[in-house]
Amino acid sequence: MSVFKHNSDYNILKADLITLSLELTHEDFKKVDFLLTKEFARGLKSTKDSTIKMYLTYVRSLPNNEERGQYLALDLGGTNFRVLLVEFNRDSSKIVDCVREAIPAKLRFGAGSDLFDFIAEHVVSFAIKHQLVGVRIALGFTFSFPLQQQGLAEAHLVTWTKSFNCAGVVGFDVVRLLKAALKRKMHKSIPYVDVVAIINDTTGTLIAGALKDKNCMIGLIVGTGANACYVEKLENLEKWPFNYSDPKQVVINTEFGAFGDNSVLDFVRTIWDRSLDAESVNSGKQVYEKMLSGMYLPEIFRRVLLTLIERGVLFNGHLPLELLRPNSISTKIMSDIDQDTNMENFTKTREAIKKLFPHCKFNEVDVKIVFMINNRITKRSAQMVATGIWALAKRIKQNEVSVAYDGALISLHPYFRVWVEEKLSQFINSNAPGKKIKLIQANDGSGLGAAIVAAVCYREKRPKIIKKRGKVYQITSFQTK
Ligand code: ADP
Ligand code: MG
């Protein structure tokens, strides 16, 4: 419900009315939950016939604190990639170092080999920086795009999402592409980086969370994009191709960002959601993700502001030229505006308007309208996320379920997590009082999880000494500290 309902100012009332479609009722969310639940079930039966793919990940058991030694992780997200050096000791895991690099736009649309060369270059220089020369070190690869996995170190890219569209990668095994690029960059004196596992960022987050909390059964990402994974029982998986031996569970990567691609979400989509989608690189795809993740919220916001100006309700109908430029607003600015919850002087919103539109004249009412619109968009996003989590948590038949989360939007926005929790409580109170859903932050969990999986696979496989091109390499020491 809008906080401005009783304000007599005509423009606020008009803006409220024009953007009412951004405010959904609990009945709407109940319907979204119902539809999601149905789609999840369909995806568990068959990947082919569903919009939510529910991919098998090959991750069956969660870590048990037995991992030791140093490992590398590479986390390719929608905006950034990170290289991490992680160390596991008896009772702790520590990120020794993490470097973050934005992926330049030209690489996001260029040849796949250029993208992988760029990444490999950074991995190798990171390893050299840490004096991992002449050693063999295992690397876990977190890849945040839909994958069809054939094994723990073999996975074909199904489609690019977010702002990526590199040629020559869809349909190929991305582990092979990374290994080939690393091979091009590794010379005799430098480390031998062994890519032993590939996982999705949600799986990484779940694994990192499971290390802290034994009830952790769901991994959630809300950053550039949005996705979730969870632990499913094999008996509920008609499409499970192997035998049903222990552990009788597997992590399912839902790829729930694609929810709505078959039009079922049309009843809650606004004109701004539709126009954003129509002009995106993957029109008609990732409908749910486009309503809630960091890459899209500012574009929804920009489009709503344009409509209000066009209708003469905002900035006295004057259009700041900056607003015509796509992607001119950042999600960080939306986070800043949402800090103004005391509703008194709207300091942050004023600052944001000045920063975004330096030449724009605005008054008190404009500030309130900008705050209201921003708030409606971010809140809707958090409530949509909560509905997705609720639909998954219902599948897990235990009273206490923890959800590990990562991604800049949910981690850095001042109230996003609180709003997710509020909506979850609403679902719990009316459907399953007694159920507890706890959110736990897994900072850099997506990368950390990849290092853990690398460690688990290396536990069995690693050779003590390896010989390569006539030279003897010693592997990293794995003694317990
Ligand atoms: P990735 O998606 O590449 O793994 P992140 O999880 O760091 O990376 O998410 C980056 C996205 O998060 C940005 O594209 C932006 O949309 C959003 N974001 C970045 N900073 C903030 C912030 N302070 N508040 C809210 N959202 C943010
Ligand atoms: Mg990420």
Extract the tokens encoding 90: 């008896």
On the question of a cis peptide bond just before residue 433, with omega within 30 degrees of 0, the verdict is: no
Which residue has 């958090």 as its token pair?
382
Q: What is the pLDDT of residue 4?
A: 53
Q: What is the pLDDT of residue 474?
A: 52
* For the CA of 449, the nearest ligand: 2
Is 369 within 8 Å of 254 (Cβ atoms)?
A: no
477 annotated active-site = no
Contacts of 313 (CB under 8 A, 6+ apart): 11, 14, 15, 18, 369
Contacts of 67 (CB under 8 A, 6+ apart): 88, 93, 452, 455, 456, 459
Using a 6 Å cutoff on CB, does residue 223 contact ligand 1? yes
H helices of 157-200, in order, are 174-185
Is 410 within 8 Å of 218 (Cβ atoms)?
A: no
Q: What is the pLDDT of residue 134?
A: 75
CA dihedral sign of residues 243, 245, 248, 254: negative
| N-term to C-term CA, the chain | 56
Enumerate residues with CB within 5 Å of ligand 2 (an ion). 77, 201, 223, 446
Tell the burial category of 21 from Cβ atoms under 10 Å away from its Cβ (0-12, 13-18, 19+): middle
Q: What is the pLDDT of residue 7?
A: 47
CA 288 from centre of chain: 13
Among protein residues, the one with the nearest Cα to ligand 1's atom 23 is 332
Is the pTM above the cut of 0.75? Answer: yes
Pairs from 240-246 (Cβ < 8 Å, separation ≥ 24): 240/56
Among protein residues, the one with the nearest Cα to ligand 1's atom 24 is 332
User: Between helices 364-393 and 416-431, what is the axis angle to 10°?
Assistant: 50
Q: What is the pLDDT of residue 460?
A: 57
Q: What is the pLDDT of residue 262?
A: 97
As beta bridge partners, residue 185 has none
Q: If you count them, how many residues does the chain have?
A: 481
Contacts of 412 (CB under 8 A, 6+ apart): 332, 335
Q: List, for residues 376-419, the tens digit of each pLDDT value.
A: 999 999 999 999 999 999 999 999 999 999 999 999 999 999 99
Q: What is the pLDDT of residue 185?
A: 85
Using a 6 Å cutoff on CB, does residue 295 contact ligand 1? yes
For residue 375, give the 3-state DSSP assignment: helix
Which residue has 């696979």 as its token pair?
457
Q: What is the pLDDT of residue 133?
A: 77
For residue 364, give the 3-state DSSP assignment: helix
Nearest Cα neighbor of 182 from 193, 172, 174 is 193
91 annotated active-site = no
Please state, in angstroms and rounded to a whole number, the distance separating the CA atoms of residues 327 and 31: 31
Extract the tokens encoding 299: 């574009």
The best mutation among 74, 79, 329, 420 to test binding of ligand 1, ranked by most ligand atoms within 8 Å of the C-beta, falls on 79
Extract the tokens encoding 93: 């895991």
CA 354 from centre of chain: 30
Instruction: Please identify every stretch of the chain with a pLDDT value under 50, giving residue numbers as ranges.
Output: 1, 6-7, 476-481
Please state, in angstroms and rounded to a whole number, the distance separating the CA atoms of residues 463 and 446: 27
Residue of 33, 194, 201, 366 with catalytic role: 201
* Beta strands at 93-102 and 80-88: parallel, antiparallel or unpaired: antiparallel
Using a 6 Å cutoff on CB, does residue 38 contact ligand 1? no
Please state, in angstroms and rounded to a whole number, the distance separating the CA atoms of residues 1 and 17: 12
Distance from residue 79's CA to the centre of ligand 1 (Å)? 8
For residue 302, give the 3-state DSSP assignment: helix
Phi, psi of 115 (to 5 degrees): -60, -50
Q: What is the pLDDT of residue 65?
A: 72
Nearest Cα neighbor of 360 from 305, 307, 298 is 305
Distance from residue 257's CA to the centre of ligand 2 (Å)? 14
* Secondary structure percentages of the chain, helix, strand, coil, to 5: 45, 20, 35
Among protein residues, the one with the nearest Cα to ligand 1's atom 4 is 77
Using a 6 Å cutoff on CB, does residue 202 contact ligand 1? no
Q: What is the pLDDT of residue 469?
A: 65
Distance from residue 77's CA to the centre of ligand 2 (Å)? 4
Using a 6 Å cutoff on CB, does residue 304 contact ligand 1? no
Please state, in angstroms and rounded to a whole number, the distance separating the CA atoms of residues 281 and 285: 9
Q: What is the pLDDT of residue 238?
A: 85
16 annotated active-site = no
CA dihedral sign of residues 354, 356, 358, 364: negative
Tell the burial category of 83 from Cβ atoms under 10 Å away from its Cβ (0-12, 13-18, 19+): buried
Using a 6 Å cutoff on CB, does residue 378 contact ligand 1? no
Query: Running DSSP on this structure, what letter comes out for residue 279?
Result: T
Amino acid residing at 20? L
Q: What is the pLDDT of residue 67?
A: 76
Is 427 within 8 Å of 437 (Cβ atoms)?
A: no
Query: Apex CA 295: angle with CA 250 and CA 269, to 5°?
Result: 85
Using a 6 Å cutoff on CB, does residue 332 contact ligand 1? yes
